A and B are shown apart, each in its own frame.
Chain A
Amino acid sequence: MSGRSRLAGLRRGLAEAYAAPYRRTLARAQREEDDLLMVIVMAEALGVPGPASFYTLELLPAVYDEVHAWHRRMGLDSSPLEHLSCC
């Protein structure tokens, strides 16, 4: 094995050792933040006046894909939005 590929292997191994034990915790933290963003973006559509809705409106298409997983996580069997039926 050449020195360069050995170094790359070392780097991968160390990265794995660094990340692996905490992957789950970090994934959960990220999901919590994503859920918060979802509530903010969807606020207006859910009937909650949001002061930032002028800006978050254009994020709406970007979160559509996540709506299904999100409302299932929030314990709702079907989509809370009338104009958006995902399941």
Chain B
Amino acid sequence: MNSLLLSVIGIGMILAGYVLYSRFLAEKIYALDDSRPTPAVQLEDGVDYVPTNKFVLWGHHFTSVAGAAPIVGPAVAVIWGWLPAFLWVTIGTVFFAGAHDLGALWASVRNRGRSIGALSGRYIGARGRNLFLVVIFLLLLMVNAAFAVVIANLLIATPTAVIPTWGALVVALLIGQAIYRLRWSLPLVSVVGVLALYALIWIGDSAPLALPETVLGLPDKAVWIVLLFLYAGIASLLPVWVLLQPRDYINGLQLFIALGILYGSVLLARPQIVAPSYNQEVPDGTPSLVPLLFVTIACGAISGFHGMVSSGTSSKQLAKESDARFVGYFGAVGEGLLALGAIIATTAGFATLSDWEETYQAFNDGGVTAFVEGGGRIVEAGLGLPQSLAATVMATTAILFAATTMDTGVRLQRFVVQEIGDIAGVRLGKLVATVIAVGVALALTFGAGADGSGGLLIWPLFGTTNQLMAALSLSIVAIMLIRRGRTPLPALVPLVFLGIVTIYALFIQLGTFWSEQNWLLLGLDLVILVAAVWVLVEAVTAMSKARGYDGDDDAELAELSEAEVKERT
């Protein structure tokens, strides 16, 4: 099959989902209502609650949710062939991710812009909040460990990306200064920043850097991992305007540019897909497609992380309720397109089937490296860049996405550690909390495999935790729908599906870790399993309780918002 045809079909399916299904959700299920003031309007304070233009809001909603995960997941999952991954990404985006992201945004908007954590307190009960903390702690832990390994692997596989990766930090630092001290205007800063980034890629391409194979007795991969965590720890302690803010901004621009480069190249090069549609001869040791596909691709099909962004920040900036359809659902659409791009790069970016099979020799062998290789070849054919430059562009893109997520992940983990400390009655300082956050992630990375090779073993576990988070948000959405006497099916069907695949996948993984005698991951798997059962039990109890609810949830919430408005004045 030609990759152009596949992308047209995929984009068509996802856009049809936006035009048809999201309209149905917005009108019939969530009943978005512009006469109801949003928290941004009602509680406007110029800081958290700011009514924002929907296109701008979509821009930072999308750049916050899209990262390396929708690249890594599909790049691993195409080992079963392109068709299963393609179907899960397209159908998942339309019926799972879209409904979930829009639902979480709606739930939070109706609840004064509160986070999913606070919502679980209201709709599930006192234990809901603790449950949320446990799930989010695990999620961030795995994001940080897995992404450190992803970056380290890429830095070793593509030494030309070393200079742009670390140079991007300098660019971000300078941009922060240009904006705050020199007062440069943003269009100028954007152009200069992006040009500087691409200049670094060009320099890096002609000056590859690699670490010696061992430094102080540690293998090179382990050294990169330690350096990355050291960096992430320091970055999360710096004032945000110094590094994280300009870095996020440039990465956001880069996300759009990279998507443009990738799809533009597919359009120009129109490569044939060489990978099989359904791979019947998967390498030994590849787990079975059901259920592992559904946890390997989390972001790009459905991801609990989106619910956190929806409920944490976006919901406080929505100018009117009907904008939620564009911001929430179309945010999922953007992520789905990124995942689709990753599928195409890893299946059509190889010259022959045997090249592809050579890359995908074992489960987890392909991954981002395959994305860099395949994507690089498509860009080479499409835009006529030299091969190594094209690969450097792809590698740098993937690394920057992963690194920004890691920066934010470490920072958020610090807050979670502090919050857990508060509940336990211990006050943890910034530094101590950061050291704990970085320490556990490092311990997990190295505990899973002594040279840091274990990080990617965590990937399916990361997927399960992410789906668990989504299940938690979906159950809140379902409870709210039941309370309003509407059908909860659009949330309930994905919820049941996720419940089954996550628990099934966790059991399969238990067996794998048991036979590999990897006790650390076995223990972690058990913890997630307990959390998963806990989420489902709480959700079922709360839902059956919600059926007997005869109050008016929206009226109660309106009262609460008015009380909050009064309290502020």
Contact = CB atoms under 8 A, between A and B. Distances in A.
A11 B190 CA distance: 10
Contact of B50 (A11, A18, A23, A26): A23
Interface string B40-56: 00000011101011011
B144 interface: no
B248 interface: yes
B252 A16 contact: no
Contacts of B60: 17, 20-21
B240 A17 contact: no
Interface string B174-194: 000001000001110010000
B347 interface: no
B384 to A, nearest CB: 30
A81 interface: no
Contacts of A13: 53, 55-56, 59
B50 A17 contact: no
A10 B245 CA distance: 19
A10 B187 contact: yes
A11 to B, nearest CB: 6
Nearest to B45: A27
A59 B443 CA distance: 50
A7 B190 CA distance: 13
B190 A14 contact: yes
B105 to A, nearest CB: 16
A25 B56 CA distance: 19
A29 interface: yes
B245 A15 contact: no
B255 to A, nearest CB: 12
Contacts of A10: 187
A24 interface: yes
A20 B55 CA distance: 13
Contacts of A29: 239-240
A22 interface: yes
Interface string A50-71: 0000000000000000000000
A17 B249 contact: yes
A66 B63 CA distance: 37
Among A16, A21, A29, residue most surrounded by chain B Cβ atoms (within 10 Å): A21
Contact of A23 (B47, B53, B59): B47
B241 A26 contact: yes
B165 interface: no
B64 interface: yes
Contacts of B64: 21
Contacts of A15: 186
A14 B240 contact: no
B249 A18 contact: yes
B317 interface: yes
Interface string B240-284: 110011001100100000000000000000000000000000000
Interface in B148-197: 179, 185-187, 190
Nearest to B241: A26
B313 interface: yes
Nearest to B408: A21
Contacts of A14: 186-187, 190
Given A13-B53, A24-B48, A18 B179 contact: yes
A21 B313 contact: yes
A27 B179 contact: no
A87 to B, nearest CB: 15
A8 to B, nearest CB: 10
A22 B241 CA distance: 8
Interface of A: 7, 10-11, 13-18, 20-27, 29
16 contacts: A7-B187, A13-B55, A14-B186, A14-B190, A16-B52, A17-B56, A17-B252, A18-B179, A18-B186, A18-B245, A20-B56, A20-B57, A21-B64, A24-B48, A26-B241, A27-B47
Instruction: Report the 5 A-B pairs with minimum CB-CB distance, sorted nearest first.
Output: A14-B186, A27-B47, A16-B56, A22-B245, A25-B240
Given A7-B187, A20-B313, A22-B244, 7 more contacts: A11-B187, A17-B252, A20-B57, A20-B317, A22-B241, A23-B48, A26-B240
